[in-house]
Every structure is written in structure tokens, then in C-alpha cells.
């Protein structure tokens, strides 16, 4: 039982680290995009909003990453591994198909509440790719949980630096490059 618990812990860590990283990149990109808009006016509470994002952001990202890993990445990776053992198709192939199916289920629930089905499915499926890959990587490599989190942190940290550098370039350069 201890080996199974360790494997699930690695999968959860890999999926959560990837989910947290991609959500952090999305938040950073959204904030930088908002700052580069010509009609952006933070008003009198702009500095307080940044402080709230910097203080509460990591806690919220951690909770959202764990929730995403538990509701999307772990079910997909567990089912993909089970099907991969019983069929000639590898687990990665099953993960792609099962991720699309689970995204369709979640998009159908969103559609039931008034969201457009197609874009919702695309966002849910797209946001599930990295966490599922992180879970499968952590399980296949059987590396320590800390190594999985460290590896994902390096990749996501590099991505965050690219987003910040692009945002600084947009802010200091006077906006986005002209289209065409």
C-alpha cells in the first residue's frame, strides 16, 4: 500500500505543479495585457489590487492547482494507465483521448449553465494537457516528488520570465507591434 500511496503522491504533485505553473502564467499574462491597454486606469486602488494579487495569489493558485489536479489530471492519468496496460495503445494515447472526453463532459455542464460549448471545451481540454502530462511523467519516471515539482518549476519559471519580459517590452516600447 505504501508504494501505491507514493505513486499517487507523485502524480498529484506533478499534476498540481503543472496546473499551478500554467495558471500563474495565465494570470501574469492577463495582468500584463491589462497594463498595456491604452484605456487602463487603475484608479485609486490599483496598488492595493497588486498587493492582494501578490499576497493571496500564491494561496489561491495552490488551491486551484490541487483542485484541477484532483478533478481532471488524476482521473485521466489513472484511467489512461489502466487502459494502457490492457490494450496495445500506450497510456499517453489514452490520456489524450480521455482528456478530450472529460473536457467534453465538463463543457457540457458549462453549456447547461449558459456557456458556449465549443470555446469551453477548448479551454478545459487545453488547460488539462500540461497537468495530465505532469502526472504521467511523475508516474513513469518514478522520481521523487520534490524532483517533479522542481522540474516543473524550472520550466514554468522560465515561461514566467518570458511573459514578464514580453510585458516589459510592450510597456516600455509603447504597445504591441503593428499588424502587418
* 57 is a domain residue: yes
* 177 is a domain residue: no
Instruction: Record the cell numbers describing residue 18, joined without a space.
Output: 503543472
Instruction: Record the cell numbers describing residue 60, joined without a space.
Output: 489561491
Neighbours of 168 (CB within 10 A): 12
* 126 is a domain residue: yes
pLDDT score recorded for residue 154 = 67
* 167 is a domain residue: yes
Please determine, for residue 60, whether its predicted confidence score (pLDDT) is greater than 60: yes
* 180 is a domain residue: no
Please determine, for residue 145, whether its predicted confidence score (pLDDT) is greater than 70: no
Q: Residue 91: give the domain boundaries.
A: 2-172
* 34 is a domain residue: yes
The 10s digit of each residue's pLDDT in 77-121 is 888 888 988 888 888 888 888 989 999 999 999 999 998 998 888
In this structure, the dihedral spanned by the alpha carbons of residues 140, 143, 149 and 152, taken in order and rounded to 10 degrees, is -50
* 25 is a domain residue: yes
Model confidence at 36, pLDDT cuts 50, 70, 90, reads: low
* 148 is a domain residue: yes
Please determine, for residue 8, whether its predicted confidence score (pLDDT) is greater than 70: no
Q: Structurally, how many domains does the chain consist of?
A: 1
Mean model confidence pLDDT for the chain: 76
pTM exceeds 0.85, yes or no: no
**Element containing residue 121 per DSSP (H, E):** helix 117-141
d(CA 162, CA 145): 26
pLDDT score recorded for residue 3 = 57
Amino acid at each position: 500500500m505504501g508504494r501505491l500511496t507514493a505513486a499517487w503522491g507523485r502524480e498529484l504533485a506533478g499534476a498540481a505543479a503543472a496546473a499551478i505553473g500554467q495558471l500563474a502564467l495565465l494570470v501574469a499574462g492577463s495582468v500584463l495585457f491589462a497594463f498595456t491597454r491604452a484605456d487602463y486606469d487603475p484608479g485609486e486602488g490599483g496598488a492595493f489590487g497588486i498587493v492582494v494579487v501578490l499576497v493571496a495569489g500564491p494561496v489561491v493558485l495552490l488551491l486551484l492547482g490541487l483542485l484541477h489536479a484532483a478533478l481532471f489530471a488524476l482521473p485521466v492519468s489513472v484511467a489512461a494507465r489502466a487502459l494502457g496496460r490492457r490494450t496495445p495503445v500506450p497510456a499517453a494515447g489514452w490520456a489524450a483521448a480521455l482528456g478530450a472526453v472529460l473536457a467534453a463532459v465538463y463543457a457540457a455542464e458549462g453549456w447547461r449553465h449558459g456557456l458556449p460549448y465549443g470555446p469551453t471545451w477548448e479551454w478545459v481540454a487545453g488547460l488539462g494537457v500540461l497537468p495530465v502530462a505532469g502526472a504521467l511523467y511523475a508516474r513513469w519516471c518514478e522520481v521523487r516528488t520534490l524532483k517533479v515539482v522542481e522540474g516543473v518549476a524550472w520550466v514554468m519559471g522560465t515561461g514566467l520570465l518570458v511573459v514578464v519580459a514580453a510585458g516589459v517590452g510592450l510597456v516600455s516600447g509603447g504597445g504591441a507591434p503593428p499588424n502587418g
